[in-house]
Structure 1
């Protein structure tokens, strides 16, 4: 019975590793937004800089008035410099009601 379990456990472990993603925080942008943007900003927890989200996250719908912590996976195989990630939602880790964002020193500019 043990020889059958070992390959099964190894296959499950590899599947879990393949689904691991990146954790990001997501919030509504401060101030006025351009019509072509989604008016959202994100940052990775280990990096305090907010960056404007220039595209959508597949499988995710933002609800205004909330801050999110998401697990996402970048679906892009290769990305040219300064192009946005192509994220797919793996899961919502947190959803917290928030006050409107006020522009401050941490309000981002475009990364490129």
Structure 2
């Protein structure tokens, strides 16, 4: 029983939260779009406020499952990942709250 707790503590020790404890708002567009990361892939489009233009999002949001056809408003936390591999993101995103999920016609 002690080993899983120790392993979890060590994994979390390598992450530092870079957002406020209440999180940040992130809007997610209703469709994935083609993009190029390490290779061709499908990316979400996101923005931090309704007034901004959509930008490509190459990462994953832990705890969030994207469903095409819905606009999302999320509350997320960002964590800095220490010693991330060169081909991996140095920020980890985690869902705190699904604020809204609105069907698009």
What range describes the TM-score normalised by the shorter chain of this pair? 0.5 to 0.7
Q: After TM superposition, list the pairs within 5 Å mapping 1:1-112 onto structure 2.
A: 19-27=21-29, 28-29=31-32, 33-34=34-35, 36-45=40-49, 48-76=52-80, 85-99=91-105
Structure with higher helix content: 1
4+ residue segments displaced more than 3 Å: 34-38
Which residues of structure 2 form unaligned runs of 5+? 1-19
Runs (5+) with no aligned partner, structure 1 = 1-17, 100-112
Q: TM-score, normalised by structure 2?
A: 0.60
Which string of whole-angstrom CA distances, capped at 9 and with x for unpartnered residues, describes residues 71-95 of structure 1? Answer: 000011579xxx6742100010000
Q: Please tell me whether Structure 1 or Structure 2 has the larger radius of gyration of its CA atoms.
A: 1
> What do you get for the CA RMSD once the two structures are aligned?
2.6
Question: C-alpha distance in 1, partners of 2:24/2:45?
Answer: 15
- Structure number having the greater strand percentage: 2
